[in-house]
A and B are shown apart, each in its own frame.
Chain A
Amino acid sequence: MSRLASLPEMWDVLVVGAGPAGMAAATVTASAGLSTLVIDEGPGPGGQIWRAIMTTPVMSRPVLGSDYWAGAPAVRAFYESGATYLPSTQVWSLDADGVAGLSAEGEARYVSARRVVIATGAMERPFPIPGWTLPGVMTAGAAQGLLKTSGLYPSDRLVIAGTGPLVWLYAAQLLAAGGRISALLDTTDPGARLAATRSFPAFAASPYLAKGLALMARVRARVRVLRKVTALSIDGRERATAVRFRRGGGAEEQIPADTVLLHQGVVPQVNLAMATGVGHRWDDRQLCFVPEIDPFGQTGLERIAIAGDGAGIGGWEMAVERGRLAGIGAARALGIASDLVPSPNPALKRLRALARPRAFLDTFYRPAVAFRRPAPETIVCRCEEVTAGDIAKAVDIGALGPAQLKAYTRCGMGPCQGRMCGLTVTELMAAKRGVSPAEIGYFRLRPPVKPITLAELASLPVDGANVKAVVRS
């Protein structure tokens, strides 16, 4: 019998995502004696930050660094908790009653849980510039994933462009692995640097300052770093061949490149939570939609909680604490005796400390407007090849929000289901209409949130009522 077919139908707790938050939540609930099912689409535990931690071919510890290897004890605790863990499995639907549609190895089925913790984490913010759809252009996170999973790194002419801690972290990891970087194009907005001075004291009091400066120093010692980069674009026909840019108001410059890595921060992955019906609000500091939750990750839907970076960006240490709190919340809601559930107080205290330096990071690395609301000829929706100009035109002829935009242009209707264009669409339409992103809102998301084949759907178990509903008498 296949893995899915032999799975029990009823669970106390379902956790979607086996990253820092999902593993922490599941460790709490399974240790408290609750039947806990953890589903993850990746082949191993760890999420993106600890990706391939059990199998990485990069064994020399300094290459991936201490934050990476901090995941090993978390994975061990998760494995020992008694939770049932299904890797390489998709959750393509979830409803407010806790019924989840799963698929793996060409089969599908439904399971039901009394409490669900959505821990689907973050993704990199879209970086729409001319040429970003060319082969050879990837995100910095993609390259980092290749290094963690396979020990692979670009060995041709490499340019890294963008802003945010991951740019520096990946550059340092790549150099340590033996790679070379032709140039690092820093798109950090000089205006944002200035705006961040107010929140600097709280950041300076955290360990992040020394850590960040050390990373930057290691990279600067070996890589040409060009600052105040604007007007970035990528040349090429069959694949990337060069990057073009200006520094401040300077003349146009060009650097040959076979591989271009882009990055401008990370944002919550909202597709599953939104399709489940969880309410979200616009976060103007992090420039993204975040779910409306209480300190235990509890959403407005009784059975559904959200933990980790999917609940707003905070990094892996916050994700662990928020995962724990979601696990504690689920265990309490299911009536587990208080001596079997850890106290939430240490996690709440750690969270307050971890939150203090975030304002600086969010403000300092706030992506420049030009890279969030691109020029008219730039492709915004990669799947359907809808440009910023197409979106402006649709607004001109009456599209009020993302839902109408779909009907006008097919924007957001390709295989990625708006993941690569959603935030750009919200910001472009808001600016064009002169209203706030909150008023524009996001795409209306619906299941299936992951592709599922007809054969997989047809493999769902049916009972008499299902047949009666569709067969004519």
Chain B
Amino acid sequence: MLARVDDRHQRTVPISIDGRAVEARVGDTVAAALLTADVAACRVSTVSENPRGPYCLMGVCFECLVTIDGVGNRQGCLIEVRDGMAIETQSRRREAGR
């Protein structure tokens, strides 16, 4: 669970996480939006299918891979939320074609 300091009182935009409507703060990354929405696991390991969540949040660990607007394996920590963005967690093993 996260708390927030927001001295700028930033506005929010609607996004969806696995079909659930969520308000996300403008300027937050996809990974931050997931953590804020209390989604700790954004995918499962492609080997054991154990749950995985963001680890480094700076683009090097590739743990926060999610499907964004239909494109799979995007790095959630490097991409900012946009109005209407559809985020899906990756709950299966290797997904060919996505």
Contact = CB atoms under 8 A, between A and B. Distances in A.
B47 A416 contact: no
The secondary structure that dominates the B interface is loop
A127 to B, nearest CB: 10
Contact of A146 (B57, B60, B62): B57
Contact of A419 (B1, B54, B60, B65): B60
Interface in A56-104: 57-60, 63, 88
Contacts of A258: 1
Interface of B: 1-8, 10, 25, 27-29, 32, 35-36, 40-41, 45-48, 50-63, 65, 71, 73, 75, 77-80
Q: Which 3 A-B pairs have the closest CB atoms?
A: A135-B53, A59-B7, A142-B57
A123 B58 contact: yes
A contacts with B: majority SS: loop
Interface string A385-422: 10000000000000000000000000000111001100
B80 A146 contact: no
Contact of A415 (B7, B55, B62, B71): B62
A135 B78 contact: no
A149 interface: yes
Contacts of A269: 60
Interface residues of A, number: 54
Contact of B55 (A48, A88, A138): A138
Contacts of B27: 52, 55, 57, 149-150
25 contacts: A43-B29, A57-B10, A58-B5, A58-B7, A59-B8, A63-B5, A88-B79, A88-B80, A123-B58, A123-B60, A135-B40, A135-B52, A137-B55, A142-B57, A146-B2, A150-B32, A152-B2, A152-B3, A153-B3, A179-B3, A239-B51, A382-B63, A385-B45, A385-B47, A451-B73
Contact of A88 (B10, B41, B62, B78): B78
B4 A151 contact: yes
A256 to B, nearest CB: 14
B35 A152 contact: yes
B32 A146 contact: yes
A153 B62 CA distance: 21
A54 B73 CA distance: 28
Given A41-B59, A145-B57, A420-B61, A136 B40 contact: yes
Contacts of A124: 56
Contacts of B60: 123, 269, 416, 419-420
A178 interface: yes
Given A60-B7, A138-B54, A382-B52, 20 more contacts: A41-B78, A48-B58, A57-B7, A106-B71, A133-B52, A133-B55, A137-B53, A146-B35, A147-B5, A150-B4, A150-B28, A150-B29, A152-B4, A177-B5, A238-B40, A239-B51, A239-B53, A416-B61, A451-B75, A453-B71
